[in-house]
Amino acid sequence: MSPALLRRATYGKKCGVKRIALLGSTGSIGVNTLDVVSKLRGRFRVVALSADSNIELLSRQARAFRPKVVSVGNGLLASRIEKLLPRGTKVVTGPEGLGEIAVRSDVDMAVFAISGTACLRPLAAAIGARKEVALANKEALVSAGPLIMKLASSRGVTIIPIDSEHSAIFQCIDGRPNTLSRIYLTGSGGPLLDIDKKAFNGLPASFILKHPKWNMGRKISVDSATMMNKGLEILEAQYLFGVDEQRIEVLIHPEAIVHSMVEFADGSVMAQMALPDMRLPIQYALTYPERLAAPVGRVDFPKIGKLTFRAPDAGKFPCLELAREAARAGGTAPVVLCAADEEAVKCYLDGAIKFSEIPEVIEKVMKRRNDVKGPALAIGHILDADAWAREEARSLCCH
């Protein structure tokens, strides 16, 4: 039996209640994950929840799902939330708390919905403990993809992606990675698709943050507008599916029905299609390899009328090429790209730079980097490069 089919068989043998640790329960992915869990009552038990600082929502979630433990960002938040929790719910804090809930012996699956490189160590710990992993965090794979995938392979862990695009690819491949020829990552094009580049800086942030198809957090909404989200997805797909950057194409697909496609060795193309609703890839990840009825709408093809595709405008959206450069360079280049982008987006949202300056800041930081690559590359190098890139980006934004 092939390793992929063996993993499917192993997952399929698990029965009864699946016990979950949800890291990042108060963000959009976390909230949708709990919505899926609530609609599949009897199949899941929420053992642990985490939030960085939104203790009001976290405490409401804890009262609804009664986890054994919650994790928050620091001791001050812990002292504030303790009195809001159900009796018997333990509180842990900081990076150590995230690591603790990711490897608990009473957890079957760790769902990673936290953003940033804060995910890196608990993700590695969960894989090391042979937990099932459902991953919605981009930064961990972008920053340390080779390290994470090598560890997952050595521990026999399948990383099930939650991003709609990578979930689509995962579903299309369905255990047949050796026959994969090309990946097509689709994207709606974001709010700026048909707007002239010269007009970008005159648009209010509220317009930039209003995605035409998805309801997302502020950072990923800006990444959608710059198309850096597609650039980061190229890096994710490269590591998740073992396909080099040259065989990953980005297609603009405004209808957002085809969530991605794969081309096989014989030229056949398979697509995964559904209405844009994050609960579908979340549910697939939680119940893999099963498919269950989901609380989402169905595609009405006559109503949609047509599905269109076009190539992205690289001149209008330079972040795409910056991401490809990082993919080709490897080593610490992807984490520098990721960290610089995060800081530049923060500066934009804080009003410190203009929208058009986001890719300019990222490019300058990328040019100043000193890559570490090869067998010597370790998580410590990744985190050092992340810290350096953030400081460089903030310095550029302040001048």
Could you read off the pLDDT of 169-209 as tens digits, one per residue? Answer: 999 998 777 789 999 999 998 899 999 999 999 999 999 99
SS (H, E, C) 111-141: EECCCCHHHHHHHHHHHHCCCEEEECCHHHH
Q: SS in 3 state form for 184-201?
A: EEEECCCCCCCCCHHHHH
* CATH code of residue 91: 3.40.50.720
How confident is residue 41, by pLDDT bands cut at 50, 70 and 90? confident
Highest mean pLDDT among 203-212, 298-307, 366-375: 298-307
pLDDT of residue 291: 93
**Full-model pTM:** 0.91
Whether residue 73 is found in the same domain as residue 119: yes
Nearest-angstrom CA–CA distance, 256 and 304: 11
Domain stop point among 130, 162, 194: 162
**Closest C-alpha among 349, 352, 347, 334 to residue 389:** 334
260 in a structural domain? yes
Q: Do 57 and 125 belong together in one domain?
A: yes
Q: How would residue 15 be classed by pLDDT, with cut points 50, 70 and 90? A: low
Question: Residue 91: is its pLDDT beyond 50?
Answer: yes
Give domain status of residue 294, yes or no: no
How many domains does the chain divide into? 2
Q: In what order do the strands lie in the sheet with 69-72?
A: 90-93, 69-72, 44-50, 18-23, 109-112, 132-135, 159-161
Alpha carbon distance 321, 176 (integer Å): 29
Among 165, 169, 134, CA closest to 32: 134
Choice among 202-206, 217-221, 283-287, 368-372 with the minimum mean pLDDT: 217-221
pLDDT of residue 214: 75
Same domain, 89 and 193: no
The rounded mean pLDDT for the chain is 93
Q: Are residues 150 and 201 located together in one domain of the fold?
A: no
Residues 6+ apart with CB under 8 A from 370: none
The pLDDT score that the predictor gives to residue 9 is 40
Whole-number pLDDT of residue 277: 94
Does residue 143 sit in the same domain as residue 184?
no
If asked whether residues 261 and 307 sit together in one domain, one would say yes
Question: Is pLDDT at 13 greater than 80 in this prediction?
Answer: no
Please check whether residue 72 lies inside any domain of the structure: yes
Give yes or no: residues 64 and 212 share one domain: no
Cα→Cα distances 278→135, 214, 265, 281, Å: 13, 8, 30, 6
Q: Residue 318 is part of which domain span?
A: 167-276+302-397
Residue 395 CA to residue 399 CA, distance in Å, equals: 7
Judge if 363 and 226 occupy the same domain: yes
> What is the arithmetic mean of pLDDT over 343-354?
96
Of 105, 130, 162, which residue is a domain's last?
A: 162
Res 2 pLDDT > 50: no
**Quick one: average pLDDT of 264-273?**
95
375 and 268 fall within a common domain: yes
Q: Give the residue carrying structure tokens 């280049």.
A: 333
Decide if 112 is inside a domain.
yes
Cβ atoms of 150 and 127 within 8 Å: the answer is no
User: Is pLDDT at 12 greater than 90 in this prediction?
Assistant: no
Identify whether 14 is part of a domain: yes
- What local confidence, expressed as pLDDT, does residue 159 receive? 96
Same domain, yes or no, for 244 and 357?
A: yes
Q: Are residues 217 and 131 in the same domain?
A: no
Domain endpoint, select from 110, 136, 162? 162
